[in-house]
Structure 1
Amino acid sequence: MIEANSIIERGAFIGEAADTITLDEAQRHRRRMAMVSDHGIAFLLDLAEARLLREGDAITLSDGRYVVVRAKPEELYAIEGRDAVHLLTLAWQLGNRHLPCQIEAKRILVRRDHVIRDMLLELGAHIHEVEAAFDPVGGAYATPGAAPHSHGHTHGHDHTHSHG
């Protein structure tokens, strides 16, 4: 089976793709999984760490071809506030509930959930049902495209110095 163990981040891929693969946000968060592209290229995604594949990322196949990731539209709420401070307050409420959110300049996108909708309406939010690609913000310790991880690291040198 063809394997894929590296990703070229969106914006960095130059060239022609052999195919695309269209996945919703949950399907795009992967480490290891058998996949089939939109036109039938079967491959095993086998990454070192779980990561969120983003719209426009290119999956490098072991035979030298590339499959470009497309984000499948999902049923979402587009949330708007009365003003910037109100929108920030709504964002804080959503973050307090650990909900994946796509943050934009004038709105926040979240998956549809009637309980969250009712809470947001009580807080004075303006809510519109939309179908759009969902590209939520990563966690506090996530690197671009990666799953959350610990912050431990080494640099190959020490950071000691004298305080003389």
Structure 2
Amino acid sequence: MARRLVEHAPLGEWPRNEEVGTLTLAYDDRHRRRVRLTSDQGAELLLDLPRAVALEEDDGLRCELGGWYRVVAAAEPVLEVAGRDSAHLARLAWHLGNRHTPTEIRADALRVRQDHVLEAMLNGLGGSTRRLVVSFSPERGAYHHHDHG
């Protein structure tokens, strides 16, 4: 029988000394309310929260029987794009936003899921792209309510 994960807490608001395991999840799998999962240690789990939560790296999920599981953002294929300067990078970000593309905003680059059409567009706009396999945590958007509590 699967153990139930019944409470979510953001980084810093759950007791790290009570961590019993980790859950490595891709971006698309980190916005859930109820789903069967397998921990990185092989435990069968049932995420069973009162409402859907956008899980972030190092958030905690409390097990009904005690202990906490830490969320780990999985490495995924992404495209990182840099601009000539901050104004150029902002223009590239505008074009991605205009296409409603989930985008991770970093100090000197943007990250999106690997996509050959977006890669061609960004290169055509003068961006410098490179393919990586890293954790992906795009902005959630102004209309996406993210309640960690």
Deviation string, structure 1 residues 40-93 (Cα, Å, up to 9, x no partner): 222211122222211100111101110001111111011100000000000010
Give 2:21's aligned residue: 19
Question: TM-score when scaled to structure 1?
Answer: 0.83
Which 4+ residue blocks in structure 1 deviate beyond 4 angstroms?
A: none
| Aligned pairs (5 A) from 1:71-90 | 71-90=73-92
The percentage of counterpart residues that share the same residue type is 37
- The question of whether the paired residues in 2 share the 8 Å contact of 1:81 and 1:107 is answered with yes
Q: Which residue of structure 2 lines up, in the alignment, with residue 41 of structure 1? A: 43
Residue of structure 1 equivalent to 2:3: 2
Distance 2:23 2:109 in 1: 27
Gaps of 5+ in 1: 147-164
Higher relative contact order (CA 8 A, sep 6+): 2
Map of 1:33-112 to 2, 5 A cutoff?
33-112=35-114
- Structure 2: which 5+ runs fail to align? none
Find the counterpart in structure 2 of residue 153 from structure 1: none
Counterpart in the other structure of 2:125: 123
Deviation at 1:13, TM superposition (A): 2.7
Residue deviations 1:91-137 (CA, integer Å, cap 9, x gap) = 01001111111101111110000000011111000101111100111
Letter in 2 for 1:6: E
Amino acid of the residue matched to residue 140 of structure 2? Answer: G
Q: CA RMSD in A?
A: 1.4
Point out the structure with the larger strand share. 2
Paired residue secondary structure (1:132): strand
**CA separation in 2, counterparts of 1:107 and 1:119?**
16
The TM-score with structure 2 as length reference comes to 0.91
Aligned equivalent of 2:32: 30
Q: Which has the larger radius of gyration?
A: 1
